Amino acid sequence: MAKEQQLHVLKALDVAKTQWYHFTAIIIAGMGFFTDAYDLFSISIVTKLLGRIYYTTPNPTRPGSLPINVSAAVNGVAFCGTLAGQLFFGWLGDKMGRKSVYGITLLLMTFCSIASGLSFGSTPKGVMTTLCFFRFWLGFGIGGDYPLSATIMSEYANKKTRGAFIAAVFAMQGVGILTGGIVALIVSAGFESKYHPPSFEEDPARSLTPEADYIWRVVLMFGAIPAAMTYYWRMQMPETARYTALVAKNANKAAEDMSKVLNVEIEGEDDKLQRIVQDERNTFGLFSAQFARQYGLRLLGTTSTWFLLDIAFYSQNLFQSNIFSSIGWLPDASKMSAIREVYKVARAQTLIALCGTVPGYWFTVGLIDIMGRFAIQMMGFFFMTVFMFAIAIPYEHWQQRANRVGFLVMYGLTFFFANFGPNSTTFVVPAEIFPARLRSTCHGISAAAGKAGAIVGAFGFLYASQDKNPARRSQGYPPGIGQKNSLIVLGVINFLGMVFTLLVPEPKGMSLEEASGEATAESDDHDNEFDIPKRFEGTNRSDIGMDLSGS
């Protein structure tokens, strides 16, 4: 943009050297995503245990399992809440400010994590109903974390490493998934060591010890701990300068807040601000024709790619145990006790997360500001398509015992390239390419489209993956198209993700105002951190509490 049009406070943020407050912001926002992922994915570890505890019939001939409607609700209700939360808090973040509502999401997550584990009822229906109720509101809080965390991190970051900083926040999702598996491993191993239950085949009654009911409750409630620990630090963060200046229209307050964060003197520029905010490019609303012309294709690109990605990503994550069972990597349920089954499912999820999921996130962090968002997203969708077809087309080949390791390697690679690819970039880009006054709302809309895809994956894949052979189908489910054909469909969905990625612009190396089109490109090239006045460089501060303090 023309130099005289950019506020000094925004310039200071764009070119500030990477320093301690950046990492503090990553930790504060990232712990929310750690909790998000832990809460969303830990349910898949304990779903089979819930079926055994609450739906085992008297004198059973096979281990109990959740009825089809209950399983769909338990797995999918949190996504419904998340979708609603993304839309609501995304809109609220632009209306009230990012910080004003940032703590509400953590309080919801903390309370509902605990309440989910304490789900009460004297009947299986009662327990499942209260569990679904609290998981909906848990998802509602989680949903708010998406647009708020992404927007806050993008508006704090400098433009050279902004992609890495936003991606690092999102990478905590992988750590949360991994931690969910580790917690379940520790809890189930401890209970198994204490009670030594036999397998269902050996003794159906004793294979399900009454104490197993504590396992799923402990696993779910653990998610409250990181959320509660982060609340204080979130409340210490000042409002972002871009919201204060460009939306709340108070450049002097923005300069004052960021002077404390960067430990430099920044002058307020309310006079210049008035010229900027009165520019016709900075006044139209979300539902205007001008927004449709300028940002319509961008919003279509971010919503469609996130929608398609989440169909595939959440289908794979939520039903890992079904896929592993179908290839024989997990023993038949009758050959394990209820506690042992939790251990085996958790071990499988932990292995996939450790080898494929977590590394993919951090490859994105390291390379996103080198390769760019577009290249990583296109590459990720491409390899997800390739590996999904490589798994699906010769599916019978991978079911043979000698070939199971190869299956697991390629299945893990689909997770790697999901995370070193669109699962990360679909989160990063919407926080960069929309104007400040609509940034949180548009990110919330994009994320909500993703959760709509997750709902399709959670509900649709559950039904679609059922075998036409009743003997190989989960009890109570209608026939579907089978796991092979379901995986082929997911491969096609990944390919469509490549097509819609063409609608997404590349914001690498731009300021947020340039990337969002709020102003024209700068007229000269004197905007790097070596050319700017010394007062904009910033210096490290040792006090973690004061780095992001508004007081």
Confidence band for 528, pLDDT divided at 50, 70 and 90: very low
CA 527, 533, 535, 539 torsion: positive or negative? positive
According to the model, what pLDDT value does residue 192 have?
A: 93
Phi then psi for 400, rounded to 5 degrees? -75, 140
CA–CA gap between residue 425 and residue 297 (Å, rounded): 17
Nearest to residue 429, comparing CAs of 236, 163, 206?
Answer: 163
According to the model, what pLDDT value does residue 550 have?
A: 41
pLDDT in tens, 414-427: 889 999 999 999 99
According to the model, what pLDDT value does residue 539 have?
A: 38
Q: How confident is the model over 180-190, as a mean pLDDT?
A: 95
The CB density around residue 210, as the number of other CB atoms within 10 Å, is 8
% of the chain surpassing 70 pLDDT: 86
Q: Which residue has the higher pLDDT, 31 or 318?
A: 31
CA 141, 143, 145, 147 torsion: positive or negative? negative
Q: Which residue has the higher pLDDT, 73 or 527?
A: 73
CA–CA gap between residue 419 and residue 76 (Å, rounded): 22
- In terms of Cβ atoms closer than 10 Å to its own Cβ (0-12, 13-18, 19+), residue 401 is exposed
Extended beta strands in 224-283, E state: none
Q: How confident is the model over 375-394, as a mean pLDDT?
A: 93
User: Over 60: is that where the pLDDT of 526 sits?
Assistant: no
CA–CA gap between residue 412 and residue 409 (Å, rounded): 5
According to the model, what pLDDT value does residue 271 have?
A: 60
Q: How confident is the model over 343-370, as a mean pLDDT?
A: 88
pLDDT in tens, 159-174: 889 999 999 999 998 8
Q: Computed over its alpha carbons, how large is the radius of gyration of the chain?
A: 24
Per-residue tokens: 192: 């198994």
User: Over 90: is that where the pLDDT of 524 sits?
Assistant: no
Mean pLDDT of the chain: 84
3-state secondary structure of 160: coil
Confidence band for 84, pLDDT divided at 50, 70 and 90: very high
Q: 100-109, 179-188, 501-510, 524-533: lowest mean pLDDT where?
A: 524-533
The CB density around residue 383, as the number of other CB atoms within 10 Å, is 18
For the chain, first and last CA: distance in Å? 32
User: Over 80: is that where the pLDDT of 317 sits?
Assistant: no
Task: Bin 97: left if φ > 0, else alpha if -120 < ψ < 50, else beta.
Answer: left
pTM of the complete model beyond 0.75: yes
User: Over 60: is that where the pLDDT of 522 sits?
Assistant: no
User: Over 80: is that where the pLDDT of 141 sits?
Assistant: yes
According to the model, what pLDDT value does residue 446 have?
A: 97
**Look-up: residue for tokens 């023993």?**
331
Contact 115, 222 (CB under 8 A): no
pLDDT in tens, 92-124: 999 998 888 888 999 999 999 999 999 888 899
Confidence band for 11, pLDDT divided at 50, 70 and 90: confident
CA–CA gap between residue 353 and residue 175 (Å, rounded): 8
Contact 132, 489 (CB under 8 A): no
User: Over 80: is that where the pLDDT of 318 sits?
Assistant: no
CA–CA gap between residue 311 and residue 225 (Å, rounded): 29
According to the model, what pLDDT value does residue 54 have?
A: 93
Phi then psi for 512, rounded to 5 degrees? -60, -35
The CB density around residue 545, as the number of other CB atoms within 10 Å, is 12
Triad 26, 32, 35: Cα angle to 5°:
130
User: Over 80: is that where the pLDDT of 321 sits?
Assistant: no
Most confidently modeled range among 235-249, 300-314, 509-523: 300-314
Contact 141, 105 (CB under 8 A): yes
Q: 42-51, 163-172, 511-520: lowest mean pLDDT where?
A: 511-520
Triad 414, 145, 173: Cα angle to 5°:
30
pLDDT in tens, 126-138: 999 999 999 999 9
Helices (H), 157-203: 162-195
Q: Which long-range contacts (CB under 8 A, 24 or more apart) does 469-478 make?
A: 474/65, 474/68, 474/322, 475/62, 475/65, 476/65, 476/67, 476/68, 477/68
According to the model, what pLDDT value does residue 182 have?
A: 95
Q: Which residue has the higher pLDDT, 462 or 139?
A: 139
Contact 66, 51 (CB under 8 A): yes
Which residues are CB-contacts of 479 (< 8 A; sequence separation ≥ 6)? 466, 467, 468, 470, 473
Q: What's the half-sphere exposure (Cβ side, CA atoms, 13 Å) at 156? A: 32
Widest distance between CA atoms in the chain: 80
The helix or strand, by DSSP H or E, that contains position 450, with its residue range, turns out to be: helix 439-455
Q: 12-16, 340-344, 369-373, 415-419: lowest mean pLDDT where?
A: 12-16
User: Over 80: is that where the pLDDT of 148 sits?
Assistant: yes
- Encode burial over 140-153: b for 16+ CB neighbours within 10 A, e otherwise: bbbbbbbbbbbbbb
Which residues are CB-contacts of 154 (< 8 A; sequence separation ≥ 6)? 162, 166, 431, 432, 439, 512
Per-residue tokens: 77: 């209700």
pLDDT in tens, 431-485: 999 999 999 999 999 999 999 998 888 777 777 777 777 766 666 667 778 778 8
Contact 415, 360 (CB under 8 A): yes
Q: How confident is the model over 209-214, as a mean pLDDT?
A: 92
Helices (H), 327-394: 338-352, 358-371, 373-392
Q: Which residue has the higher pLDDT, 257 or 79?
A: 79
Q: How confident is the model over 172-181, as a mean pLDDT?
A: 91
Q: How confident is the model over 232-257, as a mean pLDDT?
A: 84
